[in-house]
């Protein structure tokens, strides 16, 4: 499900290469992979509508300056389930608390690359079949017990335990047998893998992988005992809570004294609370552009922008007609202009996606893509037996970008003779009644996933998160070759081939990556977001 991750550097100018028969060779070959289908164009980042005045109407960054020590940050978050828990491995984890209470073995750094957290270093054997993690010394949990390799091993076993029902289990179970984990000393964790994986440490950066104490499965959902910069003071499922500074945190005391969490019913209410000075930060709220402009123009609040932090998708269910035919899927992609969707839906506050779900900041990203070609889309549809094509596209108010994106796609695809009927579904049942059930709908994901997890979790045949139900044994085999390749350059090439596969044959249209527009108080300092979360250690408030 959307949660909801970086090639050419962001900001590199991109240009579309005109052509009138982009898919001629692919159409002749029944949609087989081939270089003729993709052109090495450059799109989106730093050019076209993304660089226009609309995108510049909200700040590009949070207020600068050093925060003053102390103070309490007030965070408004969306309502959650009454079954919400502080167990990070759970599908119902209280996401906003996790980065405050816990650390991972490995994290994503500001540059999008792996960085040490509780593991200071890691190395594979020569076949990438066994990974050894050297763990940080002098780390203590909030209850005073020392962090050791036993805790790291237990965390992995807890994730893999069927009783935990962790979403990350499906990612790790094909690789890790919990019975084979070894802890030769208190500061070393050895993880033998079932199959080679040169990207394995990246899979431990997920927010389900925060480290918990050995033996804590029954209590961790209530106690929140971790090694993070804050310790739990109070917590209510779907309600208020508070964390306070952990004075003995291994990386130093956090700037703040405390963080108060409030559960606020809807986006408008959260925005109003921010404008009224009742809260300081809107968590898990991507403001629509109109609201962001209002917030940025206020005296009390402004906008922090997280570049390309969400990727928006129009998944075509490949098990349902007409999307069972790869020519129809290709036509749907060629029929619309991602730059147009970016301009209309986001006012340029993002990057055109060109149907590649791997974000532009990811070092594995390829810039090759097909360009908008309505005539070729018509040709492919005719070859597939569709003189005209009419399909329903489902959206809802669940996310403020869904409907503008759907309407922009509708307008653009009409030029290829495709009639899109936009249907609005209820927000509260959208991800139970629409997602992965209707042939065409709108959704989004958070970026920040490492490429191995992104491609295997969202696009591999049989994956529970494969929202298009696309399955291609050749693609799956390519992913296996990529993750087992120990030569970095060759592995990037294989991941590039996998992206080409997704663009050409897959069922996911990715019109754009959106900058997340985060509402914050003008008193907040040190806000920096990457890898699913902001910096809890360094965030604070302006001094008097």
Residues 469 and 424 in one domain: yes
Please tell me what DSSP assigns to residue 202: G
- 332 domain residue, yes or no: yes
- 298 domain residue, yes or no: no
Structure tokens, 484: 């087992």
- 180 domain residue, yes or no: yes
Is the whole model's pTM more than 0.75, yes or no? yes
Q: In this predicted structure, what is the pLDDT of residue 329?
A: 98
| pLDDT reading at 32 higher than 50 | no
Task: Report the chain's terminal Cα–Cα distance, integer Å.
Answer: 43
Q: In this predicted structure, what is the pLDDT of residue 167?
A: 87
pLDDT in tens, 345-397: 998 889 999 999 999 988 899 998 888 999 999 999 999 999 889 999 999 98
Give 390: exposed, middle or buried? Use CB within 10 Å, 0-12, 13-18, 19+. exposed
pLDDT in tens, 121-153: 999 999 999 999 999 999 999 999 999 999 999
Residue 391, domain CATH:
3.10.105.10
Nearest C-alpha neighbor of 37 from the set 28, 47, 48, 50: 28
Residues 343 and 402 in one domain: yes
Residues 207 and 109 in one domain: yes
pLDDT class for 48, splitting at 50, 70, 90?
Answer: very low
Residues 384 and 423 in one domain: yes
pLDDT in tens, 429-453: 898 899 999 999 999 998 888 899 8
Residues 345 and 485 in one domain: yes
**What is the mean predicted confidence (pLDDT) over 26-52?**
38
Residues 44 and 154 in one domain: no
| Distance (Å, whole) CA 537 – CA 438 | 42
pLDDT class for 408, splitting at 50, 70, 90?
Answer: very high
pLDDT in tens, 236-283: 998 999 999 999 999 999 999 999 999 887 788 889 999 999 999 998
Residues 41 and 118 in one domain: no
Q: In this predicted structure, what is the pLDDT of residue 448?
A: 80
pLDDT class for 113, splitting at 50, 70, 90?
Answer: confident
Boundary (domain end) residue, out of 184, 203, 223:
223
Residues 41 and 110 in one domain: no
- 164 domain residue, yes or no: yes
Q: Which domain holds residue 120?
A: 79-223
| pLDDT reading at 423 higher than 60 | yes
Beta partners for residue 60, in sequence order: none
| Distance (Å, whole) CA 86 – CA 220 | 6
**What is the mean predicted confidence (pLDDT) over 99-119?**
92
- 356 domain residue, yes or no: yes
pLDDT in tens, 174-230: 999 999 999 999 999 999 999 999 999 999 999 999 999 999 999 999 999 999 999
| pLDDT reading at 18 higher than 60 | no
Q: In this predicted structure, what is the pLDDT of residue 531?
A: 61
φ and ψ at 250, to 5 degrees?
Answer: -60, -25
- 48 domain residue, yes or no: yes
Give 299: exposed, middle or buried? Use CB within 10 Å, 0-12, 13-18, 19+. exposed
Residues 456 and 320 in one domain: yes
- 190 domain residue, yes or no: yes
More confident residue, 288 or 366: 366
Helix (H, G, I), strand (E, B) or coil at 394: strand
Q: How many domains does the chain have?
A: 2
Residue 154, domain CATH:
3.90.76.10
Q: In this predicted structure, what is the pLDDT of residue 55?
A: 57
- 304 domain residue, yes or no: no
Boundary (domain end) residue, out of 186, 207, 223:
223
Residues 318 and 401 in one domain: yes
Boundary (domain end) residue, out of 191, 223, 255:
223
Residues 198 and 335 in one domain: no
Residues 45 and 109 in one domain: no
Q: Mean pLDDT in the chain? A: 87
């Amino acid at each position: 499900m959307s949660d909801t991750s970086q090639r050419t550097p962001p900001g590199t100018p991109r240009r579309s290469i005109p052509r009138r028969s982009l898919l001629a060779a692919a159409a002749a070959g029944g949609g087989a992979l081939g270089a003729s289908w993709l052109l090495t164009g450059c799109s989106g980042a730093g050019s076209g509508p993304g660089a226009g005045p609309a995108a510049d109407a909200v700040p590009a960054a949070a207020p600068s300056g050093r925060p003053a020590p102390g103070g309490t940050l007030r965070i408004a978050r969306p309502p959650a389930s009454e079954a919400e828990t502080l167990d990070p491995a759970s599908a119902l984890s209280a996401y906003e608390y996790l980065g405050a209470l816990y650390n991972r073995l490995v994290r994503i750094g500001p540059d999008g690359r792996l960085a040490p957290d509780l593991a200071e270093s890691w190395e594979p054997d020569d076949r990438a079949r066994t990974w050894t993690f050297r763990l940080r010394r002098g780390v203590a949990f909030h209850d005073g017990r020392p962090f050791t390799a036993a805790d790291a091993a237990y965390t992995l076993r807890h994730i893999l335990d069927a009783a935990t029902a962790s979403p990350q289990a499906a990612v790790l179970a094909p690789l890790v047998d919990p019975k084979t984990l070894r802890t030769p000393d208190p500061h070393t964790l050895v993880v033998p893998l079932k199959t080679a994986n040169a990207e394995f440490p990246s899979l431990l950066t997920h927010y389900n992988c925060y480290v918990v104490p050995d033996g804590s499965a029954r209590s961790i959902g209530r106690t929140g005992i971790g090694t993070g910069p804050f310790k739990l003071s109070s917590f209510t499922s779907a309600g208020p809570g508070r964390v306070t500074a952990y004075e003995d945190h291994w990386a130093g005391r956090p700037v703040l004294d405390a963080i108060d969490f409030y559960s606020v019913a809807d986006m408008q209410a959260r925005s109003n609370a921010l404008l009224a000075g009742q809260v300081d930060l809107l968590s898990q709220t991507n403001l629509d552009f109109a609201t962001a402009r209002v917030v940025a123009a206020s005296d009390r609040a402004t906008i922090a922008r997280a570049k390309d932090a969400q990727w928006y998708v129009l998944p075509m269910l490949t098990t349902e007609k007409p999307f069972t035919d790869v020519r129809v899927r290709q036509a749907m992609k060629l029929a619309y202009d991602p730059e147009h969707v970016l301009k209309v839906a986001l006012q340029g506050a993002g990057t055109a996606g060109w149907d590649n779900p791997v974000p532009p900041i990811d070092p594995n990203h390829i810039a090759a893509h097909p360009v908008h070609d309505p005539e070729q889309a018509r040709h492919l549809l005719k070859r597939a037996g569709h003189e005209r094509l009419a399909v329903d596209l489902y959206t809802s108010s669940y996310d403020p970008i869904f409907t503008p994106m759907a309407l922009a796609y509708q307008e653009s695809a009409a030029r290829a003779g495709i009639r899109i009927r936009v249907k609005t579904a209820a927000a509260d049942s959208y991800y139970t009644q629409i997602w992965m059930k209707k042939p065409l709908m709108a959704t989004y994901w958070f970026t920040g996933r490492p490429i191995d997890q992104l491609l295997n979790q969202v696009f591999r045949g049989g994956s529970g998160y494969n929202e298009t139900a696309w399955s291609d044994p050749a693609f799956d085999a390519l992913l296996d070759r990529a993750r087992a390749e120990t030569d970095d350059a060759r592995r990037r090439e294989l991941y590039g081939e996998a992206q080409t596969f997704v663009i050409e044959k897959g069922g996911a249209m990715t019109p754009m990556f959106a900058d997340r527009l985060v509402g914050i108080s003008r008193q907040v300092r040190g806000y920096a977001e990457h890898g699913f979360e902001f910096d809890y250690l360094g965030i604070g408030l302006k001094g008097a």
